[in-house]
């Protein structure tokens, strides 16, 4: 009888373990936006680019229950020159931690960065590279600072002048679905300005729908910033931006009023 009970309990524990719900860690911005960020900020090793060398770099890392990454190592690479570039990019990704039965937990994960010489060249033929004038050394701690910790906050940089309000007003394309359904409101985005002025980890804090969220993200992806300053160095900083979609405002893309 005891033997049968032990066997039954063994099968019960095995069944409970097999039905436990586990989810791997994911970038807070989602897979698609993170991939866009990598594409926009990838620096191809010059020798590999000239020779047309392509391949993947797989970075292994530990993500703790608070979503903090650490212990970055290269698991496999097609080029030694590409390895530090891949690690630097993966270090900028913020994570939703893994969960087990809905409870955040520590985990080991991998992130793969694709280096494709032909795609890289095509991308930069279609896009303009705008580099902000940066005069300070970059902080290498990878820490993200909040507004109250900064000596100077991050500021959007536009090569031909202007400010964020002008940029949004002139470049916002009111989504067709939002027009048809008369959807309006303010999309609030959270994002990180990196030490090189690029924008990463975009998250929709307040959603409007009707295509407005995607349009707000598109506008933010195309901005470049002067990074925040702390103790004489450029640092990573967390920022918020509101983008309002209002029916009745003139749309500069086609001259109509909605």
Domain assignment present for 73: yes
Over the stretch 194-226, which tens digit does the pLDDT of each residue have? 999 999 999 999 999 999 999 999 999 999 999
**How many domains would you assign to the chain?**
2
Q: For residue range 105-144, list pLDDT tens digits in order.
A: 999 999 999 999 999 999 999 998 889 999 999 999 999 9
Domain extent at residue 91: 21-126
- Same-domain status, 73 and 147: no
Question: Is residue 227 within 8 Å of residue 194, measured between CB atoms?
Answer: yes
Number of residues written out for the chain: 258
Q: Are residues 30 and 59 in the same domain?
A: yes
The count of other CB atoms within 10 Å of the CB of residue 61 is 21
Q: Are residues 118 and 53 in the same domain?
A: yes
CATH number of the domain bearing residue 47: 3.30.2420.10
pLDDT digits (tens, 9 = 90+) for 8-17: 444 444 444 5
90 with 172, same domain: the answer is no
Strands (E), 67-198: 69-76, 95-96, 98-100, 103-105, 107-115, 137-138, 144-145, 155-157, 185-193
Mean pLDDT score, 22-47: 96
For the segment 162-180, what is each residue's pLDDT rounded down to a tens digit?
A: 899 999 999 999 999 999 9
pLDDT at residue 99, rounded to an integer: 96
* Confidence band of 38 (pLDDT split at 50, 70, 90): very high
Share of the chain above pLDDT 70, in %: 88
CB 86 within 8 A of CB 118: no
- Taking all residues of the chain, what is their mean pLDDT, rounded to a whole number? 90
pLDDT at residue number 19? 52
Residues 85 and 144 in one domain: no
């Amino acid at each position: 009888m005891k033997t049968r009970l032990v066997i039954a309990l063994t099968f019960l524990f095995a069944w409970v373990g097999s039905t436990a719900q586990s989810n791997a860690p994911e970038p807070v911005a989602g897979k698609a936006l993170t991939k866009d960020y990598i594409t926009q900020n990838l620096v191809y090793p010059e020798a590999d680019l000239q020779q047309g060398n392509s391949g993947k770099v797989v970075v292994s890392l530990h993500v703790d229950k608070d979503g903090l990454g650490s212990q970055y190592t290269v698991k496999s690479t097609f080029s030694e020159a590409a390895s530090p570039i891949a690690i630097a990019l993966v270090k900028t990704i913020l994570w939703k931690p893994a969960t087990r039965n809905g409870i955040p937990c520590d985990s080991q994960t991998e992130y793969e960065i694709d280096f494709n010489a032909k795609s890289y060249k095509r991308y930069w033929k279609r896009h303009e590279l705008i580099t902000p004038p940066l005069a300070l050394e970059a902080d290498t701690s990878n820490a993200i600072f909040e507004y109250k910790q900064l000596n100077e906050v991050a500021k959007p940089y536009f090569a031909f002048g202007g400010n964020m309000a002008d940029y949004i007003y002139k470049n916002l394309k009111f989504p067709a679905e939002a027009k048809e359904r008369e959807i309006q409101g303010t999309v609030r985005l959270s994002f990180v300005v990196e030490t090189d002025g690029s924008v990463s980890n975009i998250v929709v804090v307040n959603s409007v729908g009707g295509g407005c969220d995607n349009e707000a993200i598109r506008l933010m992806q195309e901005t470049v910033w002067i990074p925040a300053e702390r103790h004489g160095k450029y640092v990573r900083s967390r920022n918020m931006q509101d983008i309002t979609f209002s029916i009745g405002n003139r749309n500069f893309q086609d001259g109509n009023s909605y």
